[in-house]
Amino acid sequence: MEPLQEFHGIIATLVADDNAVREAGEAKYNEVPLPSRILYLYQLAVEPSVASDVRDMSLVLLRRLIADKYDDIIAVVPTEFASIKEQLIQSIGTEQTASVRKRMTDVISDIARQTIDDNGIQQWNTVIEFLGHCATGERADLREVAMIIIENVPNVFGINQNQHIEDIKLMFQSNLQFDSPVVRSAAVRAYVAFVVDNEDDAVLVRHLSTMVPDMLRVCEHVATTDDEDDVPLQCMIDLATTVPKALAPYFRPIFELCLKTAGNKDKDDAYRQSSMEILVSLCETAPALVRKQAAAFIEPLVQQCLSMMTELDDDISEWISIDDAEEDIEEEIVSLGETSIDRIACALGPKPVFPPAYNVIRKYISSENWMERHAGIFGLSTIGEGCKRQMEPHIREIVVDALIPMLKDAHPRVRYAACNAIGQMSSDFGPTLQKKCHEVVVMALLERAVDLSCHRVAAHALAAFVNFAEDCPKAIITVYLDRIMEKMQWILDQTFNELVANQKKIVLFQVITTVASIADSSQEHFAKYYTPLMPPLKYILSNSSTEELSELRGKTIECISLIGLAVGRELFAPDIPEIMAELNKPTHSAKDDNASYVIAAWARICKVLREDFAPYLDTVLPTVLKHANFSPELSLLNDEEENEEGWDVVDVGESRLGIHTAGIEDKNTACEMLVCFAREMGTAFAPYVEKVAEFMEGELKFVFHDGVRQSAAEIFPHLFAAVRANGPEYRRNLWSRVYPQLLDALSSESDLETAGEFLFSIGCCIEELGREVVSPQDVLLAIQVITTQVRKYETRRLDRERDSKDDEQDEETQEELKDIIELETAILGRVSDLVHCLFTAFKESLLEVFDPIVQSFAELLKPNRTFQDRQWAICVFDDLIEFGGEGSAQYQAVFVEPILNALSDPYPEVRQAAAYGVGLMGMAPNGIYNRFLAGGIQHLMAMIERPDARTTEEGTVATENAISAVAKILKHSNAVDKNLIIPTFVTWLPVWEDTEETPYVYDFFCDLVEENHPAVLGENHSGLPHVVNVILQVFSHEAIDDTASDLAKQTKQRLAAIIKVLSGNKDLFEAVLQQLKLNSNLQHVLSAILAA
């Protein structure tokens, strides 16, 4: 048999249906030498008498060889392959079989890709000539071939493409206007691929953008006929996401076409989805341009999104029957409308989106059509994230007037939508919504939750309660706790019976989660419900080990552990052995679905028991480490392979890497729990430090999850604390191993938040280990890290400012820029933390190496810098004042004036940092800053009495820092006449928000009361009512945490003693109380003080 005939037979087996035949053929094929394979494959491919499927396979295999072994091919058959290249060009012109012609086109494309040399020059001139001939010839099939080659290899012309640019433009124009729809569609693909490949060449993109109208005509044709698929519209999406500015002159026809197509209910969903995606992508990639040049289309675009959300199925029987909160019916166009309006609102901001959206939403909510009511409610909650600034001031009106009535709607899907909206908006607008609407929301949700006539609505009401509780202040939720828990226990009883009777589970699963959330929010106030709730929960836990009840078991585990954490050790500890035994039992489920629930529960129990968790650790740790040690499966994918569920795909060079993500979240949870064990158990964790440290060192560069790397960094300070008793030598050896790895991981870290965690870990390690372990060389490395991070920050800032100059600027763009700056400047906060830790460990001796830090941060103090720059720079100099002793004064020319000026800064965050620093100046040794304090205290008083001093939470904290600073100066310095300031100081009290500063305020206040200062006591004791009220407010608001420091503990005791002394004069004290007219809460506080 001739070799070619034999090879023909091998290739024929590769297209056989039988797997065994194909496998045998593959083995024989791989035995054929490379030179022969190349030649035979080509000969079979171009021979018309060979079956088309064999020719197709030959071309597929030839293409693979060219892609994988091009250098080998030109090494072993250089002359023959040069001939093959030229003959392929000739053969494709005469080829009659469409599939073979397509495969030939792909082979030519791959050769053209390989013949571009390292300098970017296309060495295969024939292919350039071929493209010019085909793209402007009369044959439609060859025009299509030319366009496909450019689509496949958009850089086919090489680095010298500008020499051909007019010819290239003519190719695109000619084919975009050609009378064949197939050619026009291929031309759109090629044109877009070429433009996207050259997106960084603004001149070239602008030159080619004149053909956008031709492309639009092709898109209009496919949108108005049924001749072709929606590929041209998909290509327009690529332009919208990469070169939106090129489309700006054509916004009107683009928006008109896409809105018309998206609104055409008779058109296939794919066309409608692609049309909407074009517009949403433009909003996201060029928001300022859209707001400026397409403002007239924003309202109809928003209306179209909401209209899509009305395309619901009128038959709700399938929807009603769903018994799993994770499942829902597929309503693609409804979901498209919902996600689109969400993205548009986030991209364009509230001003252009909220007014038109709310106009339609109000009409829909009052409609007779339930689908429109449903769409209106979902629309309202969906735009919340993007329109927060516009909506938040009116949140009570929106919730009370628009949403609460919908909870009683006749249609269950509308009631469900109202529950969903309240839950979503509780997250988006918390805690404002909870504070302003709690009295209506709590009772309305409870009413829906206990109505078990529709399980889906009841379950969703309970789910909304979870969101509401998460951001609800403890003082608010505890008011309703009895009523809430009465209903929860009733629902728990009813739905457990339903599970037993007919396997209905959706409400039971949700009520368990809701109870857990309420316990988490109310904390110690939940204690009274522990006794009735724990037995039934333990019963469910011990009787839910089957696969069918796996989810119920997981939620019960979560609920029990959250309740235990909320109520504390005294109540929970007796049940822990039984619960731990149950958690450690093997289940009858084939899957390990509850691993993350179990590991998280162990961590919560550890928080309760702290060091007494040690007896369980030998059992627990192997499981946690097993999940923490998970490594994701990786796979190289070819172009044809689709993303499968549970896989993420990333592009690495020209390859596509598939990452099997199942298991990564469990790994992240396990790593977080290791941190928890080390933190909570303290020295009891010492026996496990070496093993865990070695493992976590290996996770510092785990590239597939930021959280894993963050946990790996976070754990080391706790590990060093756990082995304090092992002595400095042991800790020094461990530090010498860990520190270089932290530095190395930080140097290559691209995620800013993770880099911040590395910085914080390094700082906390240094603070924990101190000068006994940390060497001067280690300190110098830390200083180098600080200066490097500030330098990198400056580089990013300059790049950002340069880029922003090139973009359209408007008010919304400025808001977006603020968000980016806030994310960027967070790294400065972590750098500041590292400086603080260095000072805490080394005190004034750090000044020996402090000059580089001064140089890095002095620039950030300038008034033209962002407020975050100024804030964090001041924090660094605050540490210098606090820990640097008298030596800090050598830098006073750098920081004193900027700090004093910052007391009048418009940003409260800057004022707070400055006020803290001035207070530290007042406490500095030997009055080294006294000459600045007279002016400083005047600035502080002006800051405290600003009209906006307490209008925001940040402003209140800043103001209380200023009051504390005044107290520190008056107590510790003789730079000012105290008696001139004290009468005003007393009027600023009470304060209670900043519990770190309140001990200093009330320590000085106690001094004044105890010395009977007339400005405090007043003439004839007229100031005593104010004194008593201040002290009662301190206790009522828990303004002093007496566990935080000795000063806090002593100050709280002194305040209580003042009340007790005053109460000794019954007549006087009774007169004071009559004047105060205490409410029931303050009466309770007073009784508690006197009884203690």
The string of pLDDT tens digits covering residues 426-442 is 999 988 899 899 999 99
Tens of pLDDT, residue by residue over 144-159, are: 999 999 999 999 999 9
Instruction: Give the pLDDT band of residue 652 (cuts 50, 70, 90).
Output: low
Tens of pLDDT, residue by residue over 808-822, are: 555 555 556 666 777
What is the torsional sign of CA 485, 491, 494, 495? negative
Residue 33's region, left for phi above 0, alpha for psi from -120 to 50, else beta, is beta
pLDDT, mean of residues 508-522? 94
> Which residues, 6 or more positions from 60, have their beta carbon under 8 angstroms from its beta carbon?
103
The residue count of the chain comes to: 1092
What is the torsional sign of CA 514, 518, 524, 530? negative
Q: Report cis status (omega within 30 of 0) of the bond before 300.
A: no
pLDDT at 816 (0 to 100): 62
Comparing 24-28, 221-225, 795-799, which segment has the lowest mean pLDDT?
795-799
pLDDT at 590 (0 to 100): 46
Q: Report cis status (omega within 30 of 0) of the bond before 983.
A: no
Tens of pLDDT, residue by residue over 95-132, are: 899 999 999 999 999 999 999 999 999 999 999 999 99
pLDDT, mean of residues 623-641? 76
Whether the predicted pLDDT of 614 surpasses 70: yes
Separation of alpha carbons 176 and 236, rounded Å: 14
pLDDT at 808 (0 to 100): 56
pTM of the model: 0.78
Q: Is residue 749 within 8 Å of 758, Cβ to Cβ?
A: yes
Separation of alpha carbons 85 and 692, rounded Å: 59
pLDDT at 399 (0 to 100): 95
Q: Is residue 671 within 8 Å of 699, Cβ to Cβ?
A: yes
pLDDT, mean of residues 187-209? 94
Check residues 954 and 987 and name the one with the higher pLDDT.
987
Q: Is residue 1045 within 8 Å of 999, Cβ to Cβ?
A: yes
pLDDT at 732 (0 to 100): 95
* C-alpha closest to that of 331 among 318, 341, 347, 350: 318
pLDDT, mean of residues 304-326? 91
pLDDT at 651 (0 to 100): 59
Tokens of 1088: 């508690």
Please give the mean pLDDT across all residues of the chain.
91
Q: Is residue 504 within 8 Å of 522, Cβ to Cβ?
A: no
Neighbouring C-beta atoms of residue 979, cutoff 10 Å:
11
Tokens of 946: 């600003």
pLDDT at 1046 (0 to 100): 93
Residue 874's region, left for phi above 0, alpha for psi from -120 to 50, else beta, is alpha
Separation of alpha carbons 215 and 855, rounded Å: 55
Q: Is residue 999 within 8 Å of 1047, Cβ to Cβ?
A: yes
Tens of pLDDT, residue by residue over 568-601, are: 999 999 999 999 999 888 765 545 567 888 888 9
Comparing 32-41, 78-87, 625-634, which segment has the lowest mean pLDDT?
625-634
pLDDT, mean of residues 355-378? 94
Q: Residue 645, SS3?
A: coil
- Where b means 16+ CB within 10 Å and e means fewer, 1022-1046 reads ebbbbbbbbbbbbbbbebbeeeeee
Whether the predicted pLDDT of 323 surpasses 90: no
The phi and psi torsions of 122 (rounded to 5 degrees) equal -80, 115
Q: Which amino acid is at 160?
A: N
Separation of alpha carbons 674 and 676, rounded Å: 5
Tens of pLDDT, residue by residue over 927-977, are: 999 999 989 999 999 999 999 888 778 888 999 999 999 999 999 998 888
Distance (Å) of CA 58 to CA 52, 141, 596, 863: 10, 21, 50, 70
Whether the predicted pLDDT of 563 surpasses 50: yes
Give 652's strand partners.
655
Whether the predicted pLDDT of 830 surpasses 50: yes
The proportion of the chain whose per-residue pLDDT surpasses 70, expressed as a percent, equals 95
Tens of pLDDT, residue by residue over 240-262, are: 999 999 999 999 999 999 999 99
The phi and psi torsions of 650 (rounded to 5 degrees) equal -125, 145
* C-alpha closest to that of 508 among 540, 468, 535: 540
pLDDT at 645 (0 to 100): 56
pLDDT at 885 (0 to 100): 92
Tens of pLDDT, residue by residue over 688-729, are: 999 999 999 999 999 889 999 999 999 999 999 999 999 999
What is the enclosing helix (H) or strand (E) of 637?
strand 634-637
> Which residues, 6 or more positions from 535, have their beta carbon under 8 angstroms from its beta carbon?
none
DSSP one-letter string for 646-665 = TEEEEEETTEEEEEE-TTHH
What is the enclosing helix (H) or strand (E) of 364?
helix 350-365
pLDDT at 824 (0 to 100): 81
pLDDT at 547 (0 to 100): 81
pLDDT, mean of residues 9-18? 88
What is the torsional sign of CA 439, 445, 448, 449? negative
The proportion of the chain whose per-residue pLDDT surpasses 90, expressed as a percent, equals 73
Tens of pLDDT, residue by residue over 879-916, are: 999 999 999 999 999 999 999 999 999 999 999 999 99
Separation of alpha carbons 1031 and 1046, rounded Å: 19
